[in-house]
Amino acid sequence: MRRGIAAAVLATAIAVSASACGSSGSSASGSAASAGPVTITWWDTSDATNEAPTYKALVAQFERANPNIKVNYVSVPFADAQTKFTTAAAAGKGAPDVLRSDVGWVAGFAQQGYLVPLDGTPAAAEKASFEQQLITQATYQGKLYGIPEVTDTLALMYNKAIFAKAGITAAPTTWDQLKADAAQIKQKAGVDGFDFNPNSYYAMPFLYGEGTDMIDVANKKLEFNSAAAIKGINTLKDLISAPGVAKLDTTANGYANIMDAFESGKVASIIQGPWETTNVFKGSSFTDKSNLGIAAVPAGSAGKAGAPIGGHNLVAYAGSDAAHQAASEKLIAFLTSAASQTTIATKNATLPTRQDAYTSAVTANPGIAGFQAVLSAGMPRPANAQYSSLYGPFGTELTKILTGQESVQAGMSNVTVQSQKLLPDYAAQ
Amino acid sequence: MTVAAPVETAPPRRAEERRAGPLKRIRRSYDQFWYAWAMCAPVVVILALLVGYPLVLGVMYTFTDATSLNVGHTIGVNHIPDTFSWVGLKTYLDILSGPDNQFWPHFWWTIIWTVSCVTVTVSLGLGLAVLLNRQVRGRAFYRLLLVLPWAVPTFVTIFSWRLMLADDGVLNSLTGAIGLGHISWLSDPFWQKIAAIAVNTWVGVPFMMLSMLGGLQAIPAELYEAAEMDGASAWQRFRHVTLPGLRPVSSTLVLLGIIWTFNQFNVIFLLFGANNSDSVQILVTYSYKLFFGQTPMDYARAATVGVLCLSILVVFTEFYRRWIRRMQGAQA
């Protein structure tokens, strides 16, 4: 009745196949002979076509500098990475030595014992150079489990040419204004003014805009069915059905469809993070990079704009042996060094996590400059290991609310009931 | 489960065996068929390992509150001890009383999904089989054509449907051209269900058709000739010769169809993904989501939903078997 193997075989009982899910990579933790070359596996979750080449080039550079270490670079789609890593780690095999982990996953992984603390290792040698807030986010119960690699936040990305065509000169600063702008754009420019990705993470600005969050850690309360949260989701529901706002796309291809529409000028504005700027600049509407406007997300009725601070940390798997761990720490240190971060930022337009990497070459990139300006509206995650897991039930119910299958009130109550399973000691409103 | 025939009609030898003790019967059967036992043994052992052990474990998990956070594991230097506890029937009560509106919507949709899919695939399969059972020109060609959807790997079929059903796909161009307007096959909760049933029909019909065709060819042509001599109309021949003649095949097909459709993971999962389409998820995909598709993984609830699925199917199969036996008894 114990161990990961039990969990794995249980899959058969519930008539689903586990075999498809957890078999990749080989960290070869058995070959403990510390002399000779060590091969470590790195799961990178960056965009495989636009961002990966930069990382592959860095890996090659690292291998040249460390002839005793070989890196098995594996590109894993971001959407699958959390499940894939959890499955592999729980089964005790197939997990990579190094993972590029979303900042929100780190606490959960650390709680489950999947990660090694990096305090005092070569990976954390330059800990003081990083943004202190990001180091705090990578810390769980006093130990540092990840080194920040890139950071990000959400912003309103807009097509300046379309806005100008509709006679609008400034980006909207409130949701009401965005609604009015969308109608005007539809009328004068003939394209949709705004498109929303129906995902809980992208709905966070609507909660922050009312001065609330998913949970209130200080008072141990779930905030989903608080008056403020209900108001925020009502604003969202109202917005997506307004004239000039694109029809909600909840299909499995939704994310890609929205990006295509924005890149080709069929939609004037979206809410998105810096990881998409490289893609956006490849779009037919943005051959002139200065056409991309980046503004803070609009504010809600509380008059405050807020967007989640995201990003990625590099973490090391606890199941690897000492030789692999030492090699992993070197790789992490290399990839998060000021020089590597500058390379990544200039090539991929993502935001570095340390001040000394914001060189003039980096800030010359319009994508980075734009996002650096809106970072101040970023809201850090509360210190709670289950926080990121709340996006799951919230997202499922959000889709039902936005497609009219449930009222806002009923949907948010359902999220509350499901969240109480994750946070039993938190009170509902 | 009573398997033996009623005693009064059984041959005397069977009755004699019945009186012998079970141990003795096993020994006698062993003496007589030891090679059969020897050949079965590996299969029995493997089945016990692959099906029995996880099944028992799964059932055990349903009485706990196990999740990926509290089930013990050791990773390198980190040892996380077991901290989950026995909660008795709490997980079942939680799911069945449904305070979070999770189980029952999936349950009712699974029933509607199974009934409509099986009805449509079986009737379409039967219709096509009757059509192809006649001497038409190019019969082999039509058969080949109709079997194709079955021969193509399921994921290819489903991904092509996903392309065709997309908002700017072929189907929407068609409905637009004939004035039916634009239909959100993959995102509107109602049309999602229609699309799911349609795609599953596409995937399921060829097998139904082939099996029915096999069944039809086993019906002796003399019966039709005799019926025709008696002046039976085409419908009467279908109703009184074809259908009863097909019954041994069709009753099995319906049962298989129900079990397969109930557990049809591929179509739903590949067509809609698991994230933004909660209302179209059937029980097995819902269980998968609880186990693999969320963090923390909820072993207890996933196992409970799995055990509920299994129980529904076992109870149903037993009733169905009895009903079929009664029908056949009545006919004989």
Instruction: Give the SS3 label for residue A18.
Output: coil
Chain A residues with beta carbon closer than 8 angstroms to that of B50: 12
Chain B residues with beta carbon closer than 8 angstroms to that of A111: 69
What CA–CA distances, in Å, run from B95 to B101, B290, B292, B307? 9, 12, 18, 12
Which has the closest alpha carbon to A193: A268, A292, A257, A272? Answer: A268
Could you tell me the two tokens for B24? 């003795």
* Mean pLDDT of successive 10-residue stretches along chain B, which has 332 residues: 45 54 81 84 91 92 90 82 90 86 91 97 94 83 84 91 89 88 87 95 92 92 91 91 90 94 94 83 93 86 94 94 83 55
Interatomic CA distance for residues A427 and A424, integer angstroms: 8
Residues 171-230 of B with CB under 8 A from A: 184, 186-189
Burial track A377-393 (b if 16+ CB lie within 10 A, e otherwise): bbbebeebbbbbbbbbb
Residue whose entry in the numeric block shows the structure tokens 């009312």: A210
Residues 46-75 of B with CB under 8 A from A: 50-51, 53-55, 57-61, 68-69, 71-75
Closest CA of chain A from B232, distance in Å: 48
Parallel, antiparallel, or unpaired for β A221-222 and A292-295? unpaired
| Contact at CB, B167 and A249, closer than 8 angstroms | yes
Helix, strand, coil fractions of chain B, as percent rounded to 5:
75, 0, 25
Asked if A108 and A89 touch (Cβ cutoff 8 Å), the reply is: no
pTM metric for this prediction: 0.84
Interatomic CA distance for residues A371 and A399, integer angstroms: 28
Parallel, antiparallel, or unpaired for β A215-216 and A292-295? unpaired
Chain B residues with beta carbon closer than 8 angstroms to that of A252: 162, 186, 271-273, 275-277
Asked if A301 and A231 touch (Cβ cutoff 8 Å), the reply is: yes
Residue A182 contacts B, CB cutoff 8 Å: no
Interatomic CA distance for residues B122 and B208, integer angstroms: 6
Specify the DSSP class assigned to residue B296.
Answer: S
For residue A101, the surrounding DSSP H or E stretch is: strand A98-102
Nearest to A399 among B58, B278, B291 (CB): B278
Closest CA of chain B from A84, distance in Å: 9
| Contact at CB, A113 and B78, closer than 8 angstroms | yes
Parallel, antiparallel, or unpaired for β B78-80 and B73-75? antiparallel
| Contact at CB, B187 and A2, closer than 8 angstroms | no
| Contact at CB, B50 and A251, closer than 8 angstroms | no
Cis peptide before B244 (omega within 30 of 0): no
Best B63, B73, B82, B283 residue to mutate vs chain A (most A CBs within 10 Å): B73
Look at the alpha carbons of B29, B32, B34, B37 in this order and tell me if their dihedral is positive or negative. Answer: negative
Nearest to B292 among A87, A112, A414 (CB): A87
Instruction: Give the SS3 label for residue A208.
Output: helix
Best B60, B67, B75 residue to mutate vs chain A (most A CBs within 10 Å): B75
Chain B residues with beta carbon closer than 8 angstroms to that of A2: 71-72, 82
Residue B91 contacts A, CB cutoff 8 Å: no
Is A320 buried (19+), middle (13-18) or exposed (0-12) by CB count in 10 A? Answer: buried
Interatomic CA distance for residues A67 and A65, integer angstroms: 6
The torsion angle over the Cα atoms of residues A115, A339, A60 and A274, rounded to 10 degrees, is 70
| Contact at CB, B275 and A395, closer than 8 angstroms | yes
The residue ranges of chain A whose pLDDT is under 50 are 1-34
Asked if B117 and B200 touch (Cβ cutoff 8 Å), the reply is: yes
Interatomic CA distance for residues A429 and B16, integer angstroms: 72
Residue A74 contacts B, CB cutoff 8 Å: no
Residue A40 amino acid letter = I
Nearest to B73 among A3, A12, A399 (CB): A3
Closest CA of chain A from B270, distance in Å: 9
Nearest to A14 among B58, B184, B294 (CB): B58
Chain A residues with beta carbon closer than 8 angstroms to that of B80: 112-113
What CA–CA distances, in Å, run from A398 to A237, A307, B286? 10, 18, 17
Interatomic CA distance for residues B3 and B322, integer angstroms: 11
Asked if A225 and A409 touch (Cβ cutoff 8 Å), the reply is: yes
Residue A83 amino acid letter = T
What CA–CA distances, in Å, run from A251 to A247, B143, B186, B271? 12, 34, 5, 9
Instruction: Give the SS3 label for residue A278.
Output: helix
pLDDT at B18: 56
Residues near B172 by Cβ (< 8 Å), separated by ≥ 6? B165, B166, B182, B183, B185
